[in-house]
Structure 1
Amino acid sequence: MSQAPTSDRPSAPAGPLAGVRIIDLTSVMMGPYATMILGDYGADVIKVESPDGDVMRHAAPMRHPAMGAMYLQGNRNKRSIVLDLKKAGGRAAVLRLAAAADVFVHNVRPAAVARLKLGADDLLAINPRLVYASLHGFGETGPYAGRPAYDDLIQGLTALPALTGSITGEPRYSPATMADRIVGLNAVHAILAALFHRERTGEGQAIEIPMFETMAQFVLGDHMAGRSFEPPIGPPGYSRLLSPDRRPYQTSDGYICALVYSDKQWNAFFAKIGLADEAGRDPRLNSISARTRNYDFVYDWFSQMMKTRSTAEWMRFFEEADIPHAPLHDLDGLIDDPHLAAVGLIQSLEHPTEGTLRVAGPVATWSRTPPSIRTYPPNLGEHGREILREAGLAETEIAALIAEGALIEPGSC
């Protein structure tokens, strides 16, 4: 694998991907989230940006232009270079970078990649060991190939708003970039598997991670239901997830999250509320098989029961009965959660222009090669000259790229 450059930045654990170099032509959230995780694992991620920069740089709130909070939360452990790929010199510079890289990842629409002559065949011809990863909206063999795709559209296509609407009466998108992040996670493991294959065989390859198909697999794993069979034995949809009273439960003074699931848990619950005698209960509550056939009744009954006591009472009750439960957080509650504080999920890093930043750091624990936050999210084009020097370009070549407008330096974007 190619060797990541040395620098005078603060030292940190190298991580399991130390020495892997990634050329990152992604923007918005799906691709940057994937490459951020690979960067956390130790890869040297070179973020190639357009003169306008990643669009998420401009998403408020921000302290300074082009340094929006969403950008800052998804682009640590990367270096930024601004290249105009429509200029001959910009394309040539990307080819120089790709020739010495391990991974090339982009979420550019296929037609645009073809116009730039930066497709898989172009890059694998100059670097046969390259893992070339394309993050597209849709697979290239289907009728939706080449269409634009964003998180909201993919959520809609994969029935998530419709499922919400079947419960609430109004279709709504998830208030998180669910599709982008789920597909980004799938891209991470696809790239890692391709690198593993490359280490065994020496072969690079092209891989495509389509948003629609990835999210369809994610949703249908829960909701194929009766259409899992041919011919179908019932409609699609997992009834437990679609029950209208499966939600945070209202108590006498607030809300609580709880899940009484197994027979053991239900028996402990019944004992606590004075219904230990099975004969005194509705038979739809008396076994796991009966409850799974009557989710709507069970969740409605449980939600009415929850209104009879305060949140604090139920929290103590569930703790004593060893029943899974949790408070209902808002965003501030989540950020300030004492468990997250104890495990150190929210980390602080110093940024030369943005001051102290708080970010959700890597989550897995490793005994030998832990992921880490080594560098702050870069300013636009901050490392252009550095990156090109490492690729072997002479100062005269770099000056020519600047003169052409192919390389754009900080302050001129």
Structure 2
Amino acid sequence: MTEKHVSGPLDGVRVIDLSTVVMGPYAAQILGDLGADVIKIESPSDSLHVGEYRNTPGMTPLHLNVNRNKRSVALDLKDEAEHARALELIHSADVLITNMRPRALARLCMTYEDLAVANPGLVYAHAAGFRADSDRADAAAYDETVQAASGLVDISNRALGTPLYLPSILADKVSGLTIVYSVLAALVHRDRTGSGQQIEIPMADTLITFNLVEHLAGHTFDPATGPTGYPRSLSEHHKARRTRDGLAAVVPYNPQNYRDFFAAAGRPDLAADPRVNGPSLNVADVDDLSDLVDECAPALTTAEWAEVCAKHNIPMGPVLELDHSHEDPYVREGHLLETVEHPTEGPVRTIGIPVRFSATPGSIRRLAPVPGQDTAEVLAELTDAG
């Protein structure tokens, strides 16, 4: 990675990342990928914070994956002089992202009301587990507790019979994306009016609304016309199929899809089944038909099914195995994983930028910094600007 200047769509926007763990850092990284100058303020003595990301002597994968395109400044916010420097940085910024507790922000004179006096154009994004005006405002917020509070655990229990947490830190990442689009909207408003604003991003609210898009279902109407839950997602048959040599997402949708699938599997008897020869599928037959698809899928390899499904317009996709993701042609061709040389960690794989801009492409200009490595550079800029 080089540090040459590349003008992304957010070139000229300064973001202060005063957040920890994943949600805030992930959002700030995306803004950095899009060209913003992201300055991460880290405490030089917060060993817990460091431990969340790193194992001595090196960086953990999670730290590397949410902190690129940032400059790191080590400041002790409990020290009067360093606290003043942190405030100078925030006053120079367009955006502040933080997930600090409200009481801590108040002690540090870093509430929105405090900061807007000197920087009225500041976009102040405060992320938390729950709404500040709710009785859960001070409740601990981890991805698991937010998955539970948002209905995801109920969805897993109904689909699988076990109250599993989704095996992804979905609450953190979806909330991080929500921070990004909220900040961008507030920047547009500021450009039109000159005024910044405070944005509150509660993780639980974000995930509740995210989950209800399809799972509110019959309760969309009042009174309800049916149960909650999206039947297709909750079905035990909602899974990839085992082919002769692996896994594939083979998803017949209409009678013709089923007929073509069964014929390709060498089952003309099933292709002639009355259930797949009407004008449409009977909902009551879908589970039984899905069992038959599972039964027939091992007749061909994944590559053979890809050819069959492409020929007959049957929805199909191979299953990406994470251990081999760097070898996957689609991943390689899209530059979604590339090996680069990190200044302190050696060769590392860096995750690509998924969106493409025709005029102002995003770029990876810096890999995740060692905590505090840019302190002198950034504070010198403040002095020069003053």
Q: Do the two structures share a fold, i.e. TM-score over 0.5? A: yes
TM-score normalized with structure 1 length: 0.85
| Alignment-derived partner of residue 79 in structure 1 | 71
Q: Which moved more, 1:49-58 or 1:147-156?
A: 49-58
Pairing of 1:232-251 with structure 2 (within 5 A): 232-251=224-243
Q: Which moved more, 1:303-312 or 1:232-241?
A: 303-312
Which amino acid in the other structure matches residue 139 of structure 1? Answer: R
The alpha carbon displacement at 1:253 in A equals 4.6
**1:219 and 2:216 matched:** no
Q: Percent identity?
A: 40
What is the aligned counterpart of 1:352 among 329, 332, 343?
343
What is the aligned counterpart of 1:45 among 38, 54, 59?
38
What is the aligned counterpart of 2:156 among 158, 164, 167?
164
The alpha carbon displacement at 1:146 in A equals 2.5
The one-character-per-residue Cα deviations of 1:56-85 (angstroms, maximum 9, x if unpaired) are: 7546886x5251111011111101111121
The alpha carbon displacement at 1:285 in A equals 7.4
Flag the 1:270–1:205 CA change in 2: closer, same or farther, 3 A. Answer: same
The one-character-per-residue Cα deviations of 1:130-159 (angstroms, maximum 9, x if unpaired) are: 101101111112221122211111112222
User: In structure 1, how many angstroms separate the alpha carbons of the residues matched to 2:303 and 2:229?
Assistant: 34
> CA RMSD for the aligned pairs?
2.7
TM-score normalized with structure 2 length: 0.91
Kindly indicate whether the alpha-carbon contact (under 8 Å) linking 2:129 and 2:203 is maintained by their aligned counterparts in 1: yes
What is the aligned counterpart of 1:376 among 367, 370, 376?
367
Pairing of 1:303-314 with structure 2 (within 5 A): 303-314=294-305
User: In structure 2, how many angstroms separate the alpha carbons of the residues matched to 1:105 and 1:254?
Assistant: 43
Q: Which moved more, 1:338-347 or 1:25-34?
A: 338-347
User: In structure 1, how many angstroms separate the alpha carbons of the residues matched to 2:48 and 2:333?
Assistant: 34
User: In structure 1, how many angstroms separate the alpha carbons of the residues matched to 2:164 and 2:214?
Assistant: 19
Kindly indicate whether the alpha-carbon contact (under 8 Å) linking 1:107 and 1:134 is maintained by their aligned counterparts in 2: yes
What is the aligned counterpart of 1:184 among 162, 176, 184?
176
The one-character-per-residue Cα deviations of 1:289-318 (angstroms, maximum 9, x if unpaired) are: 623x55433433322332444444433322
**1:256 and 2:248 matched:** yes
Query: Which secondary structure state, in structure 2, belongs to the residue aligned with residue 386 of structure 1?
Result: helix
The alpha carbon displacement at 1:277 in A equals 9.7
User: In structure 1, how many angstroms separate the alpha carbons of the residues matched to 2:33 and 2:338?
Assistant: 13
What is the aligned counterpart of 1:323 among 307, 314, 318?
314
| Alignment-derived partner of residue 185 in structure 2 | 193
Query: Which secondary structure state, in structure 2, belongs to the residue aligned with residue 256 of structure 1?
Result: strand
Flag the 1:377–1:279 CA change in 2: closer, same or farther, 3 A. Answer: closer
Flag the 1:302–1:279 CA change in 2: closer, same or farther, 3 A. Answer: closer
User: In structure 1, how many angstroms separate the alpha carbons of the residues matched to 2:112 and 2:360?
Assistant: 31
Which sections of structure 2, spanning at least 5 residues, go unmatched?
none
Flag the 1:124–1:313 CA change in 2: closer, same or farther, 3 A. Answer: same
Query: Which secondary structure state, in structure 1, belongs to the residue aligned with residue 383 of structure 2?
Result: coil
Q: Which moved more, 1:272-281 or 1:33-42?
A: 272-281
Query: Which secondary structure state, in structure 2, belongs to the residue aligned with residue 326 of structure 1?
Result: strand
Query: Which secondary structure state, in structure 1, belongs to the residue aligned with residue 339 of structure 2?
Result: strand
| Alignment-derived partner of residue 199 in structure 2 | 207
Kindly indicate whether the alpha-carbon contact (under 8 Å) linking 1:243 and 1:299 is maintained by their aligned counterparts in 2: no
| Alignment-derived partner of residue 297 in structure 1 | 288
Which amino acid in the other structure matches residue 96 of structure 1? Answer: E
The alpha carbon displacement at 1:327 in A equals 2.2
What is the aligned counterpart of 1:20 among 13, 21, 29?
13
Q: Which moved more, 1:197-206 or 1:140-149?
A: 140-149
Query: Which secondary structure state, in structure 1, belongs to the residue aligned with residue 165 of structure 2?
Result: coil
Kindly indicate whether the alpha-carbon contact (under 8 Å) linking 2:23 and 2:175 is maintained by their aligned counterparts in 1: yes
Kindly indicate whether the alpha-carbon contact (under 8 Å) linking 2:259 and 2:276 is maintained by their aligned counterparts in 1: no
Query: Which secondary structure state, in structure 1, belongs to the residue aligned with residue 177 of structure 2?
Result: helix
Pairing of 1:40-119 with structure 2 (within 5 A): 40-52=33-45, 58=51, 65=57, 67-119=59-111
User: In structure 2, how many angstroms separate the alpha carbons of the residues matched to 1:54 and 1:280?
Assistant: 67
Which amino acid in the other structure matches residue 178 of structure 2? Answer: N
Q: Which moved more, 1:191-200 or 1:253-262?
A: 253-262
Which amino acid in the other structure matches residue 324 of structure 2? Answer: G
Which amino acid in the other structure matches residue 238 of structure 1? Answer: Y
The alpha carbon displacement at 1:52 in A equals 4.5
Q: Which moved more, 1:240-249 or 1:112-121?
A: 112-121
Query: Which secondary structure state, in structure 1, belongs to the residue aligned with residue 238 of structure 2?
Result: coil
User: In structure 2, how many angstroms separate the alpha carbons of the residues matched to 1:351 and 1:322?
Assistant: 44
The alpha carbon displacement at 1:287 in A equals 4.8
User: In structure 1, how many angstroms separate the alpha carbons of the residues matched to 2:217 and 2:277?
Assistant: 23
